[in-house]
Copies of this chain bind each other. A is one copy, B any other.
Amino acid sequence: MVDPAELATLPRHLVLDAARMALVEDLGRAGDITSAATIPAGTVAKAAIVARRPGVLAGLAVAECAFHLCDKRVGFNAECRDGDTVPAAAVVARLDGPARAILTAERTALNFLCHLSGIATATAALVAGVQHTRARIVDTRKTTPGLRALEKYAVRCGGGWNHRFGLDDAVLIKDNHIAVAGSVTRAIEQARAGAGHMVKIAVEVDSLDQLAEAMVAGPDVVMLDNMAPAEMREAVHLVAGRAITEASGNVTLATVAAIAETGVDVISSGRITHSAPALDLALDVEVG
């Protein structure tokens, strides 16, 4: 079986830029004045990043990068990998090296790790809810500004898949586009006429009539928006494999199984990126 995390590709420069940007934000003009005042320059320490709650990890490379940008001498030994499910109290990584640098980078590293692991964990919960079906869980463009690539990577770590990455890499015709274009048919035809040959075309429909009209124009993907399971099942039947079917709207842990059981190919969720609570991880320092 395919492991989405294995296939995720996060350009290295995005990892470096993210870690650096966050350190710059936290260190300001004067740097870590607490560590400078209370920790002698030569002090070394050991530390561990520990999960306080169970969850799925994402973002270890950014965390490692934050420590190394502070001081190249910090040793960072991951005990887990992105995509791993860890129990509470699990040691995620062990660190050793200059105590100042470990404490200075701590919050930056954890802010990434907790945020991205929170997304992976929320994704994994939905994925678990549909594992008896063939449906894939996918993300949306409802991501935190500035972190889209990282958050979509975290979705992969949680076993989910990625929808388009921006406005530019696929066509998605929504209700507002249809309203302006005049009809579903016309909107799809215009998109087909105007889009490049490497671009897929998806269309959002909210009724079986609209779906029937859309299918005549031949989109690559139909997004069934906020349909009840019975209607969605009928929609899947109507499409009959001629397009990829995607369910959207009101996707929660409570509803996702029923949605998946309608036979849709893909279920998209904004919540896994915009509202996932952070996973609780912490850094414990051992002195000596």
Contacts and interface: CB of A to CB of B under 8 A. Distances in A.
Interface of A: 2, 4, 6-14, 18, 20-39, 41, 43, 45, 69-71, 99, 103-104, 107-108, 110-112, 114-115, 118, 136, 138, 141-149, 152, 161-174, 176-181, 187, 190-191, 193-200, 202, 221, 244, 246, 265-266, 270-271, 274-275, 277-278, 285, 287
A26 B9 CA distance: 14
Contact of A168 (B143, B169, B199, B202): B169
A224 to B, nearest CB: 14
A70 B7 CA distance: 17
Contact of A2 (B33, B118, B194, B246): B194
Contacts of A164: 196, 198
28 contacts: A9-B33, A11-B27, A12-B71, A13-B20, A28-B29, A29-B148, A29-B152, A30-B149, A30-B169, A32-B167, A33-B168, A37-B190, A37-B191, A38-B177, A43-B180, A103-B176, A107-B141, A111-B274, A114-B274, A115-B144, A115-B145, A161-B196, A164-B196, A168-B169, A169-B169, A180-B285, A198-B200, A199-B200
Nearest to A178: B38
Contacts of A31: 9-11, 167-168
A246 B70 CA distance: 29
Instruction: State the 10 A-B residue pairs at the shortest beta-carbon distance, nearest first.
Output: A37-B194, A9-B31, A275-B277, A28-B168, A22-B145, A30-B168, A169-B169, A9-B36, A274-B278, A32-B167
A45 B177 CA distance: 11
